[in-house]
Amino acid sequence: MLVVLLVILAGGGYAVGGFVYANSKVNSATDAYNKVVDHENALTDLFNKLDAQFKSNNNDPASASSDSIKQDKTLNLQLASQSKSAQPTVESDDTALANAASSLNENSWLTALGKSSIDKSTTRINHARAALAIAKTILADSILYGTFYASVDDAALDLDALDTAANAGDLNAIDSAIQTLKSDVTKAIQQDNAPGVASQMDPFLKDLQKLATDFSALVAAVRAGDTNKVNTIVKQLDADTTKLDGYDFDAMGTSEQAYYKALIDKYNTEIDAANKT
């Protein structure tokens, strides 16, 4: 690059050389930007998939079929996996744009005649990098969000297995289902601080945890032949069920959608600004 500058100066072609030099900088920056644009569609598809999960994730587990829960779990795991897979590309794109922006600012004394083009390209890159910064947040949050709801799906499948065992009167199967439910609910509770997860999910899961504990106590009372205790625990289970039925899953979905929509809207705003520059 030093040799090029010396040749330009030696030839007395400051104006022409400066214009050519500035133009080459802008072209390089444009190439870097266009490569980022090529990756936008994949991110948009991923964000659309996230948007589609809100309603699915916030169905009442007690009313969902086993097949629909399994399908939902698959989609949540895919969301987490694809978000993780997209992270290196976003990081690479951001680095490429940062390098392009830095290059645009080099030798400003020589690019004065092309300042308008340089400034336009710099503004475009700044908007694109702002979009990528938001994308990084969305991807990191989506990994935790999808992982959490996959755990919730596991608990919902356990609840379905418990219902099947209870209807069959199989105490051993009930015991097994309860232990698995307790384990999966505990895991979900540990993950329910994932970004965007509705605040009501934590008390819901803890109430589900209580139901599992009370059900375990019911089985023990049945095995002991303690009728009075059985009747008492049945009333507790009825109260547990009533409380669980009182949660507003539609409201939870709306809350979660609002959280991610705000981020996605900011991302789209920056992308639009970059494309219009």
DSSP characters over 68-90: HHHHHHHHHHHHHHHHHHHHHHH
- The answer to whether the Cα torsion of 49, 51, 52, 53 is positive or negative is positive
Tokens, residue 220: 């023990």
Per-residue pLDDT of the chain (277 residues; tens, 9 = 90+): 555 554 544 445 544 444 454 455 555 666 677 777 777 878 888 887 777 776 666 666 666 788 889 988 998 999 999 999 999 999 999 998 898 888 766 555 444 555 677 788 888 889 999 999 999 999 999 999 999 999 999 999 999 999 999 899 899 999 999 999 999 999 999 999 999 999 999 999 999 999 999 999 999 999 999 999 999 999 999 999 999 999 999 899 899 999 999 999 999 999 999 989 8
Contacts for 84-88 with beta carbons within 8 Å, 24 or more apart?
Answer: 84/139, 84/143, 86/42, 86/43, 86/46, 86/139, 87/136, 87/139, 87/140
Name the residue ranges covered by the structural domains of the chain: 2-276
Q: What is the pTM of this model?
A: 0.84
- Could you tell me the CA-to-CA distances from 71 to 54, 56, 146 in Å, in that order? 14, 10, 13
Please state the separation of Cα 259 from the chain's center in Å: 11
